[in-house]
Amino acid sequence: MGRPSTTCSTRKNPNLMRTTLDFLLYDWLNVENLTECERYAEHSRETFDSVLDTSARIARERFAPFNRLVDLEEPQFDGERVHLPRETGEAVAAYAQAGLLAAGHDYGHGGMQLPYVIDMAANSFFAMASIGLSAYGMLTYANCNLLLAHGTQAQIRAFASPEMEGRFFGTMCLSEPQAGSSLGDIQTRALPDAGAYEADPLGPRYRIFGSKMWISGGEHDLSENIVHLVLAKVPGADGAMRAGVKGISLFAVPRELVDGDGRCTGRRNDIALAGLNHKLGYRGTVNTLLNFGEGRFPVGGEEGTDTGNGAIGYLIGKQGEGLKYMFHMMNEARINVGMGASMLAYAGYLASLDYAQNRPQGRPYGRAGKDPSIAPVPIIQHADVKRMLLAQKTYAEGGLALGLYCARLVDLKNTGGPRERADAERLLQVLTPIAKSWPSEWGLEANNLAIQVLGGAGYTRDFPVEQYWRDNRLNMIHEGTHGIQGLDLLGRKVAADSGADFKLLVERIEATIVAARSHTELSDFGLALEQSLIDLTEATTAALTDVSAEVGLANATLYLQGFGHTVMAWIWLDIAAAAITCAKQDGSRDSDFYQGKLQAARYFFRYELPKVEAWLRPCVTHDDTCLRMQETWF
């Protein structure tokens, strides 16, 4: 990880989250180093801070105040159009106007050319303020990123540029009603558009037919247009579609047809909203079932050369490469999902911290505690409330740190030297499933604890914590379920290349353990982490060798949990070491802040890390209890 810079950031910001964010960025990850590379040479801590300040302000003014509103007034479909609260439009407009839809993109595209880690830090404010409102920008950004990476110049001009300007929004259309986790089973078809296949400047033109499920931002009036990126299959000469993921291609399918400069033509594409999903949470984001090419909005060929059947879509890149392109985007989207989960955890942490500081109830132990005539104390003085707050702190701040660390790896992958790039790529392989799954699981638990701190009040809609909990429940499901993350980690990422990526991660963790030895306060933690690393390595070997894949992968979710907590212990050990170093440099200044980081690390090592062994045991013993359970026994 980054070496702490020689002068530690001063912790003056009254916003607890911002203070921690600054510490993680500047002291822990030392992101100012990034300005030494050419791409970010024009940036400085000042420009980074300016983006963070602007983001914090817009999030505070335009997102946070309406988070409950967009939960209560969930999207409505009247058969013609989708109704969203006015404030949704104002929030996303403010986000776009600040240039945040192009924050990381090239100057040449009108972007700010910010490092990904700063972009992610900026977005953390929006996720914390209102995850539902923040999704439109996130989706559009990811969509645009993919177009920039794999689209033609014409496609970039027509679709991506309007997205960076905030005129068009974007979606990702992967799932179908019958195909969620199993994308190889999608049935959406793309047929070459006979008359116009080659003539269209926007690329090979196809007609798309099929239904796409769980499409966030799939229909709304927030932008001039919506660019759907759609996975579909092109049938072979025999009319049959290739089974499995290898037959999947990617298409840009605009809600309204555009000309080569990204101007809307006024001609509606054949994309019909079949219905909205009414969700447990995350209601600020409209979620849809879309029918492509059902004939509701027929589009004739420009020169009358075709039948007008099907939605018009343009092939992105090469046929059959669709899933690869999508996963280019998906990997960053998964880190983003984890970041969203961490920020929901942070929001709940701060809300419950505030409540605990202000709610009097009960008395401390000891003689005074037996005297009912003395005044009650704020509940933050009770050990069990502190436990619930400390747990939330480790989940929220630890998740934030892991997300930022991964984002910085993305920057290294994009701008580092050859060795740095290769290493970053390897580390991201094994860390992405953790960056997605760990905050999704433990951020949810953080929100659960936030409700518990508030007690009955937390169970009402008078306080925000119940909404955070509902909102956060999505994160273990979308962008690859928890179970899929486990299989991806153990069956694919850790197994790949004879475990070379995993080995590199272990080396990095060991380097942190070695470095932490210079701090006597941390010696126990280093030993404990060493042991978890041994357990994890043993579980990895056990799962991948001397046993069928069926048995080895049967406990992949438990492996994911054990792996995740081990990674998080590493993160906390490294944060603790950085805090000690900063504390020494700062003298008495901010000592509370650093003590908090140390105590959080202590909590994690003593209360959380011991769980690793329990999770990994079934992996080590090849336990087949679940695998052998029969359907008739339930």
**Sites for its own copies among residues 374-413 (CB under 8 A):** 376, 380-387, 389-390, 393
CA 214 to each of CA 278, 315, 477: distance values in angstroms, whole numbers, following the listed order: 11, 22, 11
Give min distance, CB of 382 to its own copies, in A.
8
CB 286 within 8 A of CB 185: no
Q: Please state, in angstroms and rounded to a whole number, the distance separating the CA atoms of residues 229 and 145.
A: 12
Regarding 486 and contact with its own copies (CB under 8 A), the answer is yes
Give dist(CA 441, CA 568) in Å, integer.
13
* 72/500 with CB nearer its own copies: 72
- The reply on whether position 617 binds its own copies by CB under 8 A is yes
Phi, psi of 449 (to 5 degrees): -70, -35
Q: Which stretch binds its own copies (CB under 8 A): 81-89, 141-149, 330-338, 614-622?
A: 614-622
The string of DSSP letters for 358-388 reads H-B-S--SSGGGG-TTSPP-BGGGSHHHHHH
* Gap between the Cα atoms of 565 and 554, Å rounded: 19
Q: How many residues bind its own copies (CB under 8 A)?
A: 103
* Contact call for residues 271 and 291 (beta carbons, < 8 A): yes
Classified as helix, coil or strand, 143 is helix
Residue number with CB closer to its own copies (33 or 277): 277
- CB neighbour burial string for 150-169, b if at least 16 within 10 angstroms, e if fewer: bbbebbbbbbbbbbbbbbbb
CA-based end-to-end distance of the chain: 47
Q: Binding to its own copies (CB under 8 A): which residues in 551-610?
A: 553-558, 592-593, 595-596, 599, 602-603, 606-607, 610
Length of the chain equals 634
Tell me how far, at minimum, the Cβ of 371 lies from its own copies, in Å.
Answer: 8
Among 180, 192, 235, 298, binds its own copies (CB under 8 A): 180
Least CB distance to its own copies at residue 523 (A): 16
**307 near its own copies, judged by CB under 8 A:** no
Instruction: Report DSSP letters for 19-73, one per residue.
Output: HHHHIIIIIIS-GGGGGGSGGGTT--HHHHHHHHHHHHHHIIIIIGGGHHHHHHS
Per the structure block, which two tokens stand in for 132? Answer: 């539902």
- Residue nearer to its own copies on the CB measure, 50 or 548: 548
Interface of this chain with its own copies, residues 491 to 530, rule: CB under 8 A: none
Out of 36, 278, 303, 419, point to the residue binding its own copies (CB under 8 A): 278
Q: How far is the CB of 311 from its own copies (least distance, A)?
A: 23
What is residue 229's three-state secondary structure? strand
User: Cα(215)–Cα(624) distance, rounded to whole angstroms?
Assistant: 37
Select the residue interacting with its own copies from 50, 357, 358, 518 (CB under 8 A).
Answer: 357
252 neighbors 172 (Cβ within 8 angstroms): no
State which residue, 239 or 366, has the beta carbon closest to its own copies: 366
* Residue 243 interacts with its own copies (CB under 8 A): yes or no: yes
The pattern of x and - marking residues 186 through 215 that bind its own copies according to CB under 8 A reads ---------------------------xx-
Q: Binding pattern to its own copies, positions 123-162, x when CB under 8 A?
A: ----------------------------------------
415 vs 437, beta carbon nearer its own copies: 437
Is 373 a binder of its own copies (CB under 8 A)?
A: yes
Nearest Cα neighbor of 20 from 526, 603, 412, 600 is 600
Site string for its own copies, 446-485 (x = CB under 8 A): --x--xx--xx-xxxxx---x--xx--xx-xxx--xxx--
Closest distance between its own copies and the C-beta of residue 369, in Å? 9
Element (H, E) at 168: strand 168-173
Q: Contact, 154 vs 113, CB < 8 A?
A: no
Q: Which member of 55, 175, 225, 288 binds its own copies (CB under 8 A)?
A: 175
| 303 forms part of the interface with its own copies (CB under 8 A) | no
Name which position in 10, 44, 97, 178 contacts its own copies (CB under 8 A): 178
What residues pair up with 276 in beta bridges, in sequence order? 288
Using CB under 8 A, which of 229, 232, 245, 257 touches its own copies? 245
Instruction: Check: CB of residue 466 under 8 Å from CB of residue 484.
Output: no
630 binds its own copies (CB under 8 A): yes
Interface residue with its own copies among 260, 364, 417, 523 (CB under 8 A) is 364
Closer by beta carbon to its own copies, 514 or else 627: 627
Whole-number minimum distance, CB 440 to its own copies, in Å? 11
Q: Tell me how far CA of residue 259 lies from CA of 170, 271, 303, 410, 626, in angstroms.
A: 17, 18, 15, 34, 55
Q: How far is the CB of 176 from its own copies (least distance, A)?
A: 11
Phi, psi of 575 (to 5 degrees): -65, -45
Nearest to 31 by CA among 63, 3, 7, 69: 3
Judged by CB under 8 A, does residue 18 bind its own copies?
no
260 vs 275, which CB is nearer to its own copies? 275
- Tell me the per-residue interface mask from 326 to 355 with its own copies, x by CB under 8 A, - otherwise: ---------------------------x--
Q: Which of 7, 181, 518, 541 binds its own copies (CB under 8 A)?
A: 181
Report the nearest approach of its own copies to the CB of residue 552 (Å): 9
Q: How far is the CB of 375 from its own copies (least distance, A)?
A: 10
Asked whether position 545 contacts its own copies by CB under 8 A, the answer is no
107 binds its own copies (CB under 8 A): no
CB nearer to its own copies: give 44 or 460: 460
Residue 65 sits in the site that holds its own copies (CB under 8 A): no
Could you tell me where the DSSP H helices lie in 488-555?
500-516, 523-544, 549-552
625 binds its own copies (CB under 8 A): yes
Beta bridge partners of 228: 171, 253
Regarding 16 and contact with its own copies (CB under 8 A), the answer is: yes
Decide if 160 contacts 150 (C-beta within 8 A).
Answer: no
